[in-house]
Structure 1
């Protein structure tokens, strides 16, 4: 039996035991194809979207890209949990991590280690590190989001804004930006680092009405980047109704959660295109950016949903 041409030798000797990676045995083009197929499968199976408009997946380096790792310290070992989710695998160097992160890991291993786990970050702007773990794709992802907002849109309501990773470039592009974030540490970084944008502290679903009132006149859009579980029931209810937005830009880190949310929003919002983004190569995770346009007819009533 001939091995698949997509199969490669894993470069890390810990692969198969360490739970940090899932796809080192595949060529990177094969991994990217599989991740796109996972998005398609979730959209078809859960979202009943059979023929989505899928843009080419955005990729970067598949090794040496992470500017942040979290390691555990137990029983004289420091490293990652194993594939069983319990065993601690001793790790002296992570191939996914950037060189400066590995240097800090080596320094940590050589000294006293009183804490049960450590977050190791690259030396860079705190707001960047707080949000984005993939250093090479940080700027391409910002550019992707800014360019996805239609040119005629004057204002953007951003839910789950974090430290302002997207807020800053959107404000710099001339958008009237009103952001909502509930995490105190993220709020602190946002207020320190982001200029030209207004921030409301609280849950997206609680502050949405207030944020809408602050957008001002003119065409507006909504940008949401919820946690892995997707939108909360309250947030889905609020978005699944008439709004002044010309569209919603949704960045998801879990295709099944995205598909479930799209079902809930389907009466008012129609997906126009899907942009897969591989922020975490060699892992099972994949992101997807979606542009949803309003289904409202000129009368203000929901239009008949097209067949996908």
Structure 2
């Protein structure tokens, strides 16, 4: 690990060459790389050092001496302190270009591949889009109140927020009210987080509690849920410990998908955070994978059936595989509720040997993957055995996507036909993307 060094007290000046993968501006001072928070390419900035290591340094903008034409006023007053967003100072079109260029750079540098076609980005609202979030909670004794939100940039502390513009307004406009509620609870110092889930039909808050709430706490939580329209749950331990507080027996949340499908999910189950981009992503997957009525499709890392069920409307048969047993149960329920019979779901750890699974011994016409950030490298050498003509890979990490795609191209004679980004997380440096490979 690089050794920390004493920080110079005097501000320095740097000209920024480009943005790094996490949205910092990269410049050089005396030949050493400096990653400057809040700086944009083409700008000359005065900055202060926040950390110095042997081979690089970190800094924070104090003043823009030369301003980028792509710089814009951040819509959120908490930007710069709250670590939830990294790019609000960059206009939305430039954000898309940054993410597009980052995807292509990773494909070239890590994967040594170049797509034959570049797809236009999938875009949607840049504010109020986030329907799932894990909010940190901290009771601050010295200030006599609770902070609720995301962590401060470069710190473990919870940022002091009044509201959040990227969260769905249902919760984004209630951050202050939520903090005020927790202020009045007896276990206010034993609630480390609140999970939020917004469906098309209802909204839920899950309070992680490190102790039992008293009767008065329960009344206050119930009143908050009733007043602002939230189902309220308690989570004393892991996800399996979820307890319903109010209403007594709420229906699950749901969202609607293309192909006349309604997907049901629990408040702690994984779903895409951006409903509009998810809709467009599914439409693009259907168009690019192009399943026919006589084809069988394999959907890996399928979750609760987000892609599987729309694909089943077009294909002869779809096999979905997921590592989370609860998600597999929910996917099967969703298939039944949507009266889709030509689909089957299996539970398997896709990072392990799959030779014992009958579904892994079959052949498939088309393949869809939507893995976690770690990617799907263990899957790559199975793909030739399945013999899919087309492979669509949806990714939340361009680096692991590039690694996996490069392996598939070099080792198994697939071609990278198309690639593009989808703006699932506007104002952040997170890059979601999709590629198509063919044989």
Matches within 5 A, 1:273-284: 273-284=418-429
Q: How far apart are residue 277 of structure 1 and its match?
A: 0.9
Local SS of the residue matching 1:131: coil
Q: 1:273 to 1:50 in 2, by over 3 A?
A: closer
Whole-angstrom CA distance in 2 between matches of 1:193 and 1:245? 26
Select the residue among 301, 321, 328 that pairs with 1:160.
301
Moved over 6 A (4+): none
Matches within 5 A, 1:76-115: 76-103=146-173, 105-111=175-181, 112=185, 113=188, 114-115=190-191
Q: Which has the higher helix share?
A: 1
Cα-to-partner distance string for 1:114-140 (whole Å, 9 max, x where unaligned): 421111111341439731100221211
Aligned length: 289
Partner of 1:293: 438
**What RMSD in Å do the two structures reach over aligned CA positions?**
2.2
Q: Aligned pair in 2 of structure 1 residues 264, 271: CA closer, same or farther (>3 Å)?
A: same
What residue is the counterpart of 2:79 in the other structure? 15
| Post-superposition offset of 1:207 | 4.6
Aligned equivalent of 2:406: 263
Instruction: Tell me the SS of whatever aligns to 2:273.
Output: coil
Higher Cα Rg: structure 1 or 2? 2
**Larger RCO (alpha carbons 8 Å, 6+ apart):** 1
CA distance in 2, matches of 1:137, 1:276: 11
Specify which structure has the higher proportion of strand: 2
Indicate the residue corresponding to 1:237 in structure 2. Answer: 381
Which ranges in structure 1 are unaligned for 5 or more consecutive residues? 295-308
1:244 and 1:128 map into 2 onto residues whose CA distance is 35
- Of 83-92 and 36-45, deviating more is 83-92
Question: Which of 329, 349, 354 does residue 203 from structure 1 map onto?
Answer: 349
- Alignment match, 2:283: 143
Q: Which moved more, 1:20-29 or 1:70-79?
A: 70-79
Q: Aligned equivalents of 2:370 and 2:162: distance in 1? A: 34
Determine the structure 1 residue equivalent to 2:54: none
- Alpha-carbon separation, structure 1, partners of 2:162 and 2:284: 35
Is the 8 Å Cα contact of residues 47 and 262 (structure 1) preserved in structure 2?
yes
**Contact kept in structure 2, 1:54 and 1:276, CA below 8 Å:** no
| SS at structure 1 position matched to 2:312 | helix
